[in-house]
Amino acid sequence: MVKVRFAPSPTGFLHIGGARTALFNWMYARAQNGKFVLRIEDTDQQRSKKEYEEEILRSMKWLGLDWDELHYQSHRFDLYRDMAQKLVDEGKAYKDGEAILLKTLKDDIKIYDLIRGEINFDTSNFVVRGEDGGVELDEHNQPKLKDEVLIKGDGSPDYNFCCVIDDALMEISCVVRGEDHISNTPKQILIYKALGFKIPKFAHLPLIMAEDGTRMSKRMGAVAVSDYKEQGFLPDALVNYLMLLGWSPGNNQEIVTLQQAIKNFSIKKVNKAAAAFSMEKLRWINGQYIKQTDTEKLTELLIPFLEKANYINQDFDRQGLKSIVELFKVRLSTLTEFLEWTDFIFHDKLQFDPEAKEKHLSQDRSKEFNLLINNFKQVENYDAISCEEAFKKTVGELGIKPGELVHPLRVALTGKAMGPSLFDIVAILGKERTIERLNSALKTDS
């Protein structure tokens, strides 16, 4: 049975790279009807924090990556020390003060990586170097091999030692992790052999790079999963994008759900070339998911953002909000963009786009706006259709083209040059606020 694990360290939040590793492990397990283990590697007692652990678990749940088993390395310290002492008793390791080190033997190590193919390691390259950088020699005048730390001087277990013991005893069949761990593989295999454990398969995922080929930075998307949630990305969209970073469902398909993906996911089909992170592509995918989301559900997702921004209070008009969401959903790339698009609806004071104001409200509009106000006042059933008819009547009476008044009206009502159907906006604002804003535009000098 396929059994894989994701083993984050609670010394920081769950970032995009870790989330992609967790996702590919999860997909591999589910595609093979196997098990997915979540192991919290909290052996670093000084740097590990409860808040990071809780954030990792929340982010995993938010992404929809459920687990079959949950383990904590900090609960297993006695096991690691017992295993290390066993190696000492067998003459395979030795004590150096409080530390315990594994004797490194010359060995040619060969593994078949499920993504990268055959990888060879020669332990004779694991040499001890002096302060001058030169290779130290043993009593036989041969390069002295660097012994592997199992238990540190402070009594805590070393990362590689813990990994081997846990992966073996938890019966992990394949270790799927980032390619930055390739250098750990030969060290771990030496420990597997010393302990007499079965060596699992390995699959090292490509790194995620910025679009320009450099290492990821916060500016280029290397932020915590929780940050993407706060920025208004949907979990399904983020998962969809992460699975495309190194794997493809085929047929140039870009929008694919987790359930669809696991039907044909194969770890062997993961690309070994580095994947480039594109915020623009992520935003596009997120926009597609927002468009597909039921308006009722989308409204519920938006309410926390609106409450946090003080756009709504506890007794807001839910049906009215749904109408606004339906109007704007096709324009959104993130949930937070809804706040930017609709500020003119929830706030009385308009934030004008300076360029739009200069272009459309810099000349005297008193004649047009006064006539428009008069015609809007006469509308009884104040809906989009009736408002559009009142507008058409106005431009007819003025003898101008609709385009000459559409843009000034939009800027006067919203402060923006672009947006959804103008008459849907007029209807949402209502007669009183529409007239107030037109009167306000008449009072400005610009």
Quickly state the pLDDT bin for 210 (edges 50, 70, 90). confident
Q: Which two tokens stand for residue 386?
A: 């009736």
Cα 247 from Cα 115, distance rounded (Å): 11
Whether 176 and 28 have beta carbons less than 8 Å apart is answered as yes
Place of tokens 């070393």: 158
**Residue 429, pLDDT above cutoff 50:** yes
**Residue 401, pLDDT above cutoff 50:** yes
- The pTM (predicted TM-score) of the whole model is 0.92
Q: Check whether residue 137 and residue 285 sit in a common domain.
A: yes
Q: Check whether residue 303 and residue 426 sit in a common domain.
A: no
226 contacts: CB under 8 Å, gap ≥ 6: 13, 14, 55, 58, 59
Q: Which of 49, 106, 218, 392 is catalytic?
A: 218
pLDDT recorded at residue 445: 47
Q: Check whether residue 122 and residue 112 sit in a common domain.
A: yes
DSSP H helical segments within 5-76, as ranges? Answer: 16-31, 50-63
Domain region containing 302? 294-346
Whether 368 and 411 have beta carbons less than 8 Å apart is answered as no
Q: Angle of helix 185-195 relative to helix 77-89, nearest 10 degrees?
A: 70
Buried b vs exposed e over 110-119: b needs ≥16 C-beta within 10 Å?
ebebbbbeee
How many whole angstroms from its chain centre is CA 340? 22
pLDDT digits (tens, 9 = 90+) for 211-249: 887 877 656 556 899 999 999 999 999 999 999 999 998
Q: Check whether residue 302 and residue 286 sit in a common domain.
A: no
Whether 325 and 302 have beta carbons less than 8 Å apart is answered as yes
Q: Which of 235, 236, 282 is nearest to 58 (CA)?
A: 235
pLDDT digits (tens, 9 = 90+) for 289-345: 999 999 999 999 999 999 999 999 888 899 999 999 999 999 999 999 999 999 999
Whether 178 and 17 have beta carbons less than 8 Å apart is answered as yes
Q: Is 218 a catalytic residue?
A: yes
199 contacts: CB under 8 Å, gap ≥ 6: 111, 189, 192, 193
Q: Are strands 174-178 and 201-205 parallel, antiparallel or unpaired?
A: parallel
Q: Check whether residue 263 and residue 325 sit in a common domain.
A: no
Place of tokens 């101008």: 400
Q: Check whether residue 134 and residue 255 sit in a common domain.
A: yes
Q: In sequence order, what DSSP letters do the residues of 114-152 get, joined into one string?
A: TTTEEEEEEGGG-B-B-TTSPBPB-TTSSBPBPPEEEE-
CA angle 191, 9, 279 (to 5 degrees): 120
Q: Check whether residue 266 and residue 217 sit in a common domain.
A: yes
Q: How many domains does the chain have?
A: 3
For the chain, what percent of residues have pLDDT higher than 90?
83
**Residue 153, pLDDT above cutoff 70:** yes
Q: In sequence order, what DSSP letters do the residues of 143-182 get, joined into one string?
A: BPBPPEEEE-TTSPBPHHHHHHHHHHHTT-SEEEEEGGGG
In 274-416, DSSP assigns E strands to 275-277
**Residue 35, pLDDT above cutoff 50:** yes
Q: Which two tokens stand for residue 105?
A: 């033997």
**Residue 80, pLDDT above cutoff 90:** yes
Q: Check whether residue 138 and residue 96 sit in a common domain.
A: yes
**Residue 446, pLDDT above cutoff 50:** no
What are the Cα distances from residue 384, in Å, to 273, 348, 422? 53, 21, 8
pLDDT digits (tens, 9 = 90+) for 244-295: 999 998 888 999 999 999 999 999 999 999 989 999 999 999 999 999 999 9
Q: Check whether residue 308 and residue 279 sit in a common domain.
A: no
The amino acid at residue 35 is K
Q: Mark which of 249, 267, 292 sits at the end of a domain.
A: 292
pLDDT recorded at residue 315: 85
Q: Mark which of 346, 379, 413 sits at the end of a domain.
A: 346
Mean pLDDT, rounded, for 55-69: 97
Mean pLDDT, rounded, for 405-429: 95
Q: Mark which of 276, 292, 308 sits at the end of a domain.
A: 292
CATH number of the domain at 300, please: 1.10.8.70
Q: Check whether residue 46 and residue 57 sit in a common domain.
A: yes
Cα 70 from Cα 7, distance rounded (Å): 10
CATH number of the domain at 391, please: 1.10.10.350
143 contacts: CB under 8 Å, gap ≥ 6: 124, 127, 128, 135, 136, 137
Helix (H) or strand (E) holding 393: helix 384-398
**Residue 132, pLDDT above cutoff 70:** no
Three-state SS for 90? coil
Q: Check whether residue 24 and residue 85 sit in a common domain.
A: yes
pLDDT recorded at residue 174: 98
Q: Check whether residue 341 and residue 360 sit in a common domain.
A: no
